[in-house]
Structure 1
Amino acid sequence: MTSKSNILSIGSDFKELSDKPPKTNNPKAYFEFNFEKHMQRLLLEGNKPQNLDASSMERFAATEIMRNGKQYYEFGPDNFKSGTIISGISFNPKGMLLRVKNRIDKEHWIKENVIQYRKNSMVHIQQIVSDALKEEEMEIYQYLCYLNKSLNKK
């Protein structure tokens, strides 16, 4: 015989933060634990999200296309199609296109998000996209530092 009962849950669905880092021989793990805990206090008022929604993270990608012996690259949100040469998590994939455009001469652009470039330039294009992604990451980090300083002043 099985029991069917409803249990009343009181309180938050979020897990409480432990004040003690897990025991480990890896000093990097302590930094990651402290950093995660600090960011949770700063951005989530101490709460930790239950599950990370992977679909909420958008990606930006560059795709290589060969047509009629010419080399093309298409930039935009990552749809995981074939020919992708670089892809990265981006806070604002649409804004990432402008960052890439600022790094490539206007003469190469044949459409809003497509360039025609010299052959064997895949590594160069990967570097351009990588630099744009790093630039966005640095701006986010600088903003987090600003929030942290503002919070500590209070």
Structure 2
Amino acid sequence: MSSNSGILIIGSDTCESFGKVPKTSNPKAYFEFDFEKHMQKLLLDGEKPENLNESSVGRFAATEIMRNGKQYYEFGPDSLKNGTIVSGVAFNPKDMLLRVKNRIGKEHWVNENVIQYKKDSLYFIQQIVCDALKEEEMEIYQFLKYLNKSKSKK
């Protein structure tokens, strides 16, 4: 006995489901998907942003410069220059300079965003910038946690 039942399909084969988790063997991909969904729910009431603009994400960097046998480091928004020793995503790259300034003594500053430092200090400078980026990241997450708590109380 053969069955001639049909199935109603809505949409097309190429239609993507917004809430469907893509199949993957990478567990990190599931975290990223869940995190994105959680942030959309928290910040955008579950709506997906209309257009994601990758260039709107700012970056902060430190660049190494050697002049006249002296070691200099320049800090500022990342413009993908040669000599970049560390770069990271920053909510406000211009304000990141203040975080770095708070970690380096005044005597090292040559001008607004350049320091002269001893040779072989690359790792030290990288660590300072990474710590400043982590500090900003922690403040952002604390604010998101505050928003999450205040939203769940309603």
Q: TM class, shorter-chain normalised?
A: 0.7 to 0.9
Residue 148 (structure 1) aligned with residue 148 (structure 2): yes
Q: Secondary structure at the match of 2:110?
A: coil
Counterpart for residue 58 of structure 1? 58
Whole-Å separation in 2 of the counterparts to 1:103 and 1:95: 14
Whole-Å separation in 2 of the counterparts to 1:82 and 1:29: 32
Change (3 A) 1:150 1:84: same
Change (3 A) 1:133 1:116: same
Counterpart for residue 49 of structure 1? 49
Counterpart for residue 77 of structure 1? 77
Deviation at 1:24, TM superposition (A): 4.3
Counterpart for residue 13 of structure 2? none
Tell which structure's C-alpha radius of gyration is larger.
2
Residue 98 (structure 1) aligned with residue 102 (structure 2): no
Letter in 1 for 2:110: I
List gaps (5 residues or longer) in structure 1.
Answer: 1-14
Change (3 A) 1:119 1:43: same
Deviation at 1:81, TM superposition (A): 1.1
User: CA-atom RMSD, angstroms?
Assistant: 1.8
Counterpart for residue 137 of structure 2? 137
Asked if structure 2 preserves the Cα contact closer than 8 Å seen for 1:17 and 1:37, the reply is: no
Q: Secondary structure at the match of 2:80?
A: coil
Whole-Å separation in 1 of the counterparts to 2:139 and 2:151: 18
Whole-Å separation in 1 of the counterparts to 2:51 and 2:147: 24
Whole-Å separation in 1 of the counterparts to 2:75 and 2:67: 16
Change (3 A) 1:80 1:59: same
Whole-Å separation in 1 of the counterparts to 2:25 and 2:147: 32
Q: Secondary structure at the match of 1:139?
A: helix
Instruction: Using structure 1 for the length normalisation, give the TM-score.
Output: 0.82
Counterpart for residue 36 of structure 2? 36
Letter in 2 for 1:43: L
Whole-Å separation in 2 of the counterparts to 1:84 and 1:31: 30
Deviations 1:18-76 (A, max 9, x none): 2x533445544443332221111111121112442111111111111111111000101
Whole-Å separation in 2 of the counterparts to 1:122 and 1:27: 34
Change (3 A) 1:66 1:28: closer
Q: Secondary structure at the match of 1:97?
A: helix
Whole-Å separation in 1 of the counterparts to 2:24 and 2:66: 50
Residue 122 (structure 1) aligned with residue 122 (structure 2): yes
Counterpart for residue 9 of structure 1? none
Instruction: Using structure 2 for the length normalisation, give the TM-score.
Output: 0.82
